[in-house]
Structure 1
């Protein structure tokens, strides 16, 4: 999956696959995939003033995930 570099202290890059609704996030300590994420969540994440804060409040502990 292609990821886009983001400006964040914890996150390195973010990618999204609309067919599988999978959000892929590269953190400083690993890569995680979040499943069944609507595309609008990805759009909001990429346009958020703080990508890390948006991820923490709107994605973590809400969507199932796995470290890859």
Structure 2
């Protein structure tokens, strides 16, 4: 089951995570429906949703690292 969390960001609406598959989903403001990332450790998801800037965290720790 996917756990979705709304975030405060100009580019990202919400972030989802399925702990049974280690898949993370990002619902960007300009995408439909969302992007899927594979083999994402749960701590990366938790740090992402708790980051002071989710956009900065995305670019530094997620983008181009967890492609399916």
1:22-61 alignment, distance < 5 Å: 22-30=23-31, 31-61=34-64
More strand by share: 1
Conservation of the 8 A alpha-carbon contact between 2:5 and 2:49 = no
Query: Structure 1 length as normaliser, TM-score?
Result: 0.88
What are the ranges of 5 or more consecutive residues in structure 2 without an aligned counterpart?
none
What are the ranges of 5 or more consecutive residues in structure 1 without an aligned counterpart?
none
Aligned partners of 1:51 and 1:61: how far apart in 2? 16
Aligned residues: 65
Cα RMSD after superposing both structures = 1.1
Query: Structure 2 length as normaliser, TM-score?
Result: 0.88
